[in-house]
A and B are shown apart, each in its own frame.
Chain A
Amino acid sequence: MPFIANTPDQQKQMLAEIGLTMDGLFADIPPELMCASFNLPAGLSEQQVRNHLAELADKNSTNLICFLGGGFYDHFIPAAVYSIISRGEFYTSYTPYQPELSQGTLQAIYEYQSVICRLTEMEAANASLYDGGTAMYEAMMMALRITGRNKVIIDDTVNPIYRVMIRSYTRNLNIELEQTHSIDGLANRQQILQKIDDKTAAVILQNPNFFGCIDDFTDIANAAHQKGALLIVSCYPISLGILKAPGSMDADIVTGEGQSLGMPMSFGGPYLGFMATKMQYVRKMPGRIVGETKDRFDRRAFVLTLQAREQHIRRDKATSNICSNEALCALTALVYLSLLGKKGLKQTAQLCADKASYAYQRLTAIPGVKPHFRAKWFFNEFVLDLPREAADVIAKLIEKGFAAGFPLSRYYEGMENSMLICVTEKRTKQQIGMLAEALESIL
């Protein structure tokens, strides 16, 4: 079945009508960008395609015991999450422009915004963004709009993937990006405080940071505010079950990756960017926002609100070109959090921290394995130094059935022997013991 719906005859007719040839139609595309051939193989039958895809899928190791983190986390997902979100009414609905038809979706998004606010201890959240990295970029742009300034300070403890994204987004913009270099696993306070001046729009930090270390940025928030700059904090939502929320550090914009809230880890997503801010900045926030109102019978109702920020009204003056959201992923996060409840989230976070602490003790007892940082405060990730190159050791551990960690040399100079290890509530004492034994046998 051809993918293009019209026949060659119809195409000829249409071209004749407008007086063009097919090549003429695409004449605006520079020749060097035109594909000589798409090199597409002949079609396959459904059965052949299934076999082919199954063979490809078999190349993935899906049954490794996962100690990988670095921004995406292997948490337990209750079966009810998928059952609820896959209801047709949620699963297939598009952006809810029409409140009279979309109360269910709108209410779900409103509740999602509410849980994000409670989790981050902020006043207003949007209906979600693409992922943690784009959310951070959007927060930075928002800070530029609010302050009318163009200098941004970002510490290298912020997820390197996010920093790469920010660099590629801002390459052609007039933004002065200054990176500070962490000390002993924590954001470099001295450098940051020195760099904050009256041209600074924002300081961007992360908690727990990429190395898993935890911090309290209240002092940096104060210093930034004194100079009229904003503090942006990216956070790991599960950790907020037990950690101090960015809102109580007086952060101005809070973003993060919401995958850990009920979404499986999968290459390329779909993931969930969340964003929350103070009420005073809500009109500068990108993305959709659902608000609560009353209908003409005085009944509680929900609508998209503050739409004058968005591109269908403000055109080129819109706060952002992002006006889609990840509604189904946002719903997933909402369902996950409501199934866990306040207690469940706290318990999950505590289990992560306790198990990581146990793994830290167990693994650093192995001869030759040492903690990389002196700082002992971490949530569920920590950095170990091995007696040899970490990438090698990790490759060997994959053969033994473990996704053992992340080789930090990929993003950090001088960390060839360092590995970032993550422990979630899913890992058992036995699995941690097995990893320790496997690691010891390799070294």
Chain B
Amino acid sequence: MIAEGLLYTKDHEWAKIEGNTATVGITDYAQQMLGEITYVELPAVGKEFRSHDEMAVVESSKSAGDVYSPVTGTVSEVNPKLASNPELINDDCCGAGWLCKLTITDTKSIENLMNTKQYEEYLKGL
């Protein structure tokens, strides 16, 4: 199950680009690999990341995974619901389970992301 209209990284993050804002989350593949998610460590609003920088940590009952920023930008908002309901990521990883929003500061950083079709192909090769 791969959502349409999103861009993807090889580390299984997705980004939804609207103007200069990127909403970021982890993909269905990633949430399935992690299992039941119990905690998310989100970045502070205002923090700057370059694409591929470690941005967040998603913890599950059996594992923990780093989330890398798919774009270069500044955190403008984090999902406030994840603190008490981290399982939103399992339930709706590409919707209600988004992690944070970034204001993109380098539009070139989007160019390396995969579209739905490319990500589908990439998953088949894993």
Contacts and interface: CB of A to CB of B under 8 A. Distances in A.
Real binding pair: yes
Contacts of A308: 38-39, 59-60, 63-64
A8 to B, nearest CB: 45
Nearest to A309: B64
Contact of A317 (B39, B62, B66): B66
Interface string B63-85: 11010000000000000000000
A283 B41 contact: yes
Interface in A295-330: 308, 313-314, 317
Nearest to B44: A148
Interface string B15-35: 000000000000000000000
Contacts of B57: 317
Interface residues of B, number: 10
A317 B41 CA distance: 14
A317 B68 CA distance: 14
A68 B57 CA distance: 48
User: Chain B contact residues: over half helix, strand or loop, or mixed?
Assistant: strand
Contacts of B59: 308
A283 B41 CA distance: 9
B47 to A, nearest CB: 9
Contacts, number: 15
A283 B64 contact: no
A313 B63 contact: yes
A317 B38 CA distance: 18
A313 B57 CA distance: 13
Contacts of A313: 62-64
B53 to A, nearest CB: 13
A308 B58 CA distance: 10
A308 B57 CA distance: 10
Contact of A314 (B38, B39, B64): B64
Contacts of B39: 283, 308
A4 B66 CA distance: 43
B65 to A, nearest CB: 9
A99 to B, nearest CB: 13
Interface string B81-109: 00000000000000000000000000000
Contacts of B60: 308
A225 B57 CA distance: 25
Contacts of B66: 317
Contacts of A314: 64
A317 B66 CA distance: 9
The winner among B39, B60, B63, B64 for most chain A CB atoms within 10 A is B64
Interface in A122-142: none
A283 B59 CA distance: 11
A283 B38 CA distance: 12
A313 B39 CA distance: 15
A313 B60 CA distance: 11
Interface string B45-58: 00000000000010
The winner among A283, A308, A313, A314 for most chain B CB atoms within 10 A is A308
Nearest to B47: A148
Nearest to A310: B64
Contacts of A283: 39, 41
Nearest to B63: A313
B42 to A, nearest CB: 12
Interface of A: 283, 308, 313-314, 317
15 contacts: A283-B39, A283-B41, A308-B38, A308-B39, A308-B59, A308-B60, A308-B63, A308-B64, A313-B62, A313-B63, A313-B64, A314-B64, A317-B57, A317-B64, A317-B66
The 10 closest A-B pairs by CB, nearest first: A308-B64, A308-B59, A314-B64, A313-B64, A313-B63, A317-B66, A283-B39, A308-B63, A283-B41, A308-B39
